[in-house]
Structure 1
């Protein structure tokens, strides 16, 4: 069986959205069919084209990427060898120049000696010494002096010439090595050019397929909007039915003991394990009873409905963007129930109820044995939840994965004695609001949504509001929040030069700067999780850079350690999104 492509999505008719309260209580009639039911990964981030041809294109892209990565190593080695050969040539030439200088100096001395002899009466030879000599002892002495001078001159000039010849031989060897290194570098450059051409070709084909993917993703996102809209309408219909039935939701304090303290006309709701549920009641009527929730719960869920579609951004608490904990804390706080604003702290104080008894407004905590607690949302029924979701990059209605539920808490019951939330184990990354949080030194895969690096459909990204720049939606919302805070300090938003980088853009940049650019298909820019900044942030030691170091982490942005001063590739302008 062929493995499932990460570009695959479900094909089939849209199903009916389960309404917010009716699915659990059979109290609100089903509203009409929605565009789609909530997806397992909200916003359609995992749904793309089912195509064997696209699978083959991805395989080709992966092969080109692997070849480029191998060639990058070979190119780096060849360039190092070329630089070493050039240095040896330069050293050899310097040696030759020095030897020729010594030889020239010695030759000049000999020339001055000969000139002096000529000036003093002609060349001094043994014959002239004999003819002009008087005392035989003087003649012998003169001949000895002349022989010593000649021997010394010949030795000096000969040694200098030997040094020069040795230097010339060394230079010839170095020149040959340089020629070989240049030839290897040229061969590798040609191979890389061929690979870049192959990358261009596969990118062009992928762009065509990507257009189909983007259109399908746009449809899925419209369906998500339909889900959000229909869910909010269902909730309003439920609230309206309470009013039409003359039911005034009681405060939470009156529903703590549903056997003794319920208002007249209300009756308890049975619990799955026997007995009755605290914090809820029902209003008996025909043909079905009507769920009655505390006034605080209804106010909180209604406020959460108003936040649907707003961006997700870690560390923010509305009104323009939210994270999962701050959304829960804010809507319940406005309703009169104080809660922490972080998922682990919410887990610690939430009074538990049985998962089988989940009701609208309950807090649902998701996680896995490896990553521990990873998300919190507001239950709408047994199958759906509302959450500021890190993967969707927005406040959405999404499917409630029963197998990932680690805790269900009911805020209207008050806090419990604190209990620590389960954390990651075995080296797993921490997960916040459904999205993995990467440490500053993380250098592994940053893949998301099933998309290849640099081949993310435009509809899966969100604009930054600056030029044509875009990022993954949670990163974009966090960037906008960070830029607004930066503007308060410097009077202008963050200056940006680069954000999401397509596979084709990575190929072009690699061709221009192979020693600096990442291998196509591996850049964090290609995941929509990195930016290059300017306006002072692009220089170490500036007030703008210092502000980023001090504040960017609040918005989930970091400066990777490899780009810090002294780590070999100083890039003050490069910042990456790692979540909250």
Structure 2
């Protein structure tokens, strides 16, 4: 941040809007000083433009795409193998049934022969002739014998034919099973080759990730220094106001600078030469003090208190923020109600010229292609405070003048709503400074701008259990939930898995290619999922029931796909959805 000064001779003065120009003279800006943000655009987010991260992203996407294709083929091959096995089982059952049928008929024939022997020997044409007797009886006996033999032969022949048909069908099924097994084995070999390639890539990814993590750690330290110095400068500004006996007036008292201002205050000039609405100055020597509305002072002070808190989309403090909710909350607490999203804020804030920007003004960033993409609180013409998605935190960052779409002053009330510019020509939407990729995109970078499973350790927060870590807001919510669980059961939540690196996802995929998520797609890789134990891993236990009843209070949920009866029952798997 920079000082407001009457001349540029204070170019190296301490940053922050502390002094102003003479009456109705536009406020030139002094140069950067100790608390100036990093030269990287967006402070810590500048690491996202590094070649190391680009290589990281490209290699991860290549392996992920190959594995995704193979996973589909493996699933289809395994289904075909299961179907072939079912056919073989059915054919084997048919052969068994046919053999049993044949055996029954053979038993009947044997019993007939046994009975004939028991009643006087085996019947045959010779034995009938030798027995003598009436010629009519002889003819009848021979006819009966032929009929019995013909029937026995027909029955046995039919049963044998049925058995041979079943055996042939079994042979066909066995051949199909062998072919399906061969296909599955071949795909298994391909998957193993891809896993080997993935293992080889993970070494490269780990090296690139270490490079990115070093950059991030250095920038984070710089950012902490910037944040601390900026907050100190703001406190010094408030101390100067108090020392001068100036109490920031309500916004309503500064709406008509040309007509009436509180005693002792004079207007602030605009770039166009007129008096600015919504601000004043307290004349003194050698420099004048900028006087902002009480609501603006309270909002900026509250925003300073949020510095360093994690960025998380859809959250509204106190542990994490997105860009719109931060602005809306700090102004709302100061008595200025505003929408909670960047588009809504754009729609209603009264515009001022960028050349006239003052601390507390809202600055909206974007491009003609992507439309509106960010909102933050101006600290001077070159610096803004924002919950920045690319930095992953509430930070003080540079204000890129060439990306400013709109500057709005909340203390001036609201205007009739104006639609915020959106993406054009197929461009992707940008939210809080980060491109929002569609869920199906393998190139997508989610929160913080990092690839799934390739988030630098410095961007995560520990859970205090082993080496487990999560996105910082999820980690804070988990710790609170674990504390509540411990109050009920006497011990904290038992955890087996949390953030899962890309390499870890590759290893798990190698063990369970048909069940595990394709590397680079798991919520574990975003630091937003945990696997739990200690009773929670079993449906119906008291611990699981407690989670069902209470996890939602902390922003955690059990995904529908893992519920009982949905095909992939995983009572142990829980995901953070935000508060």
Interval of TM-score (by shorter of Structure 1 and Structure 2): 0.7 to 0.9
Once the 2 structures are TM-superposed, how far is the Cα of residue 498 of structure 1 from its aligned partner? Answer: 3.0
TM-score, normalised with respect to structure 2: 0.82
In structure 2, relative to structure 1, the CA distance for the partners of 1:476 and 1:39 (3 Å cut) is farther
Task: Confirm or deny that 1:169 pairs with 2:165.
Answer: no
The alignment status of 1:123 with 2:122, answered yes or no, reads yes
Q: 2:417 aligns with which of 410, 416, 419?
A: 419
Q: Does 1:33 align with 2:34?
A: yes
Shift of 1:499: 2.8
Please give the TM-score of this superposition, normalised by the length of structure 1: 0.82
Following superposition of structure 1 onto structure 2, how do residues 300-449 of structure 1 map, counting pairs within 5 Å? Answer: 300-313=299-312, 317-339=316-338, 341=340, 343=342, 346-347=345-346, 349-366=348-365, 375-413=374-412, 415-416=413-414, 419=417, 422=420, 433-434=432-433, 442-445=439-442, 446-448=444-446, 449=448
Quote the Cα distance in structure 1 between the aligned partners of 2:493 and 2:315: 18
Q: How far did 1:317 drift?
A: 5.0
Query: How many matched pairs?
Result: 558
Deviations 1:441-498 (A, max 9, x none): x444541455333222111223344443323345545656777788899998776543
Change (3 A) 1:265 1:297: same
Q: How far has the Cα of 1:228 moved from its partner?
A: 0.8
Partner of 1:19: 15
- Distance (Å, rounded) in 2 between the aligned partners of 1:484 and 1:437: 34
CA-based RMSD: 4.0
- Which residue is 1:271 aligned to? 270
Assess, with a 3 A threshold, how the Cα gap between structure 1 residues 273 and 478 changes in structure 2: closer, same or farther. farther
Equivalent residue runs for 1:177-576 within 5 Å:
177-313=176-312, 317-339=316-338, 341=340, 343=342, 346-347=345-346, 349-366=348-365, 375-413=374-412, 415-416=413-414, 419=417, 422=420, 433-434=432-433, 442-445=439-442, 446-448=444-446, 449=448, 451-476=450-475, 496-532=495-531, 536=536, 539=539, 543-544=545-546, 546-547=548-549, 555=555, 569=568, 571=570, 574=573
Residue range with higher mean Cα deviation, 302-311 or 368-377: 368-377
Q: Distance in 2 between matches of 1:272 and 1:523?
A: 52
- Paired with 1:419 and 1:234, the residues of 2 have a C-alpha distance of 35
Write the deviation string for residues 114-148 of structure 1: whole angstroms up to 9, x where unpaired: 11111111111112222224221111111100000
- 1-structure distance, mates of 2:553, 2:167: 61
Query: What is the CA distance between 1:179 and its match in structure 2?
Result: 2.7
- Contact 1:280–1:293 (CA under 8 A) maintained in structure 2: yes
Counterparts in 2 of 1:253 and 1:80: CA distance versus 1, 3 Å: closer
Deviation larger for 57-66 or 383-392: 57-66
Residue deviations 1:173-224, cap 9 Å, x none?
Answer: 3223323332332333233223222221221232233223211210011111
User: Larger deviation: 16-25 or 388-397?
Assistant: 16-25
Q: Per-residue displacement from partner, 1:223-281 (whole Å, max 9, x unpaired)?
A: 11111112112222333333444544333332221122224443211223442111111
Higher mean C-alpha deviation, range 174-183 or range 479-488: 479-488
Aligned partners of 1:344, 1:55: CA distance in 2, in Å? 30
Shift in CA distance, 201/314, structure 1 to aligned 2, threshold 3 Å: closer
Spell out, residue by residue over 1:375-406, the C-alpha distance to the aligned partner (whole angstroms, 9 max, x if none).
44321112222123344333211233445544
Decide whether aligned partners of structure 1 residues 539 and 30 sit closer, same or farther in structure 2, where only a CA change above 3 A counts: farther
Is the contact between residue 324 and residue 375 of structure 1 (CA under 8 Å) also seen in structure 2?
Answer: yes
Within a 5 Å distance, the mapping from 1:64-213 to structure 2 comes to: 64-213=63-212
The runs of 5 or more residues in structure 2 that have no matched partner are: 1-10, 22-26
138-147 or 223-232, which deviates more: 223-232
Cα pair 1:48 1:216 within 8 Å, conserved = no
1:377 counterpart SS class: strand
**Residues 390 and 449, structure 2, Cα contact 8 Å, conserved in 1:** no
Mapped contact 1:199–1:507 kept (Cα < 8 A): yes
CA distance in 2, matches of 1:55, 1:365: 27
Q: In structure 2, do the counterparts of structure 1 residues 566 and 355 end up closer, same or farther at CA, with 3 Å as the change threshold?
A: farther
Between stretches 136-145 and 520-529, larger displacement belongs to: 520-529
Which segments of 5 or more consecutive residues in structure 1 lack a partner in the other structure? 1-14
Shift of 1:358: 1.6
